[in-house]
Amino acid sequence: MKLTLEDLTQEDHNTVLAYVTAKHLANGYKGPCFIFLPRLAELHLVNSIVCAELAIDIMRASV
């Protein structure tokens, strides 16, 4: 499964940007922060799918 630009919304971008900006501020960085969301999604999609599947398996096992 490949995430495309059409799969991403402005809200997705805003969520990631808010998280990254908060982490940078917490670490003392005060400059601008830019995120290329499609590339970020490509890098993390596989891990996200694996984490989601694991969480679903855990929930199913606890029922």
Residue-wise pLDDT for 4-46, tens only, equals 667 777 787 788 778 888 888 898 988 877 767 677 777 777 7
Q: What local confidence, expressed as pLDDT, does residue 29 receive? A: 84
DSSP code, position 62: T
pLDDT over 70 at 51, yes or no:
yes
Confidence of residue 63 (pLDDT cuts 50, 70, 90): low
pLDDT over 60 at 1, yes or no:
no
> What is the rounded distance in angstroms from the CA atom of residue 38 to the CA atom of residue 52?
19
Question: Helix, strand or coil for residue 30?
Answer: coil
Per-residue pLDDT averaged across 54-59, rounded? 82
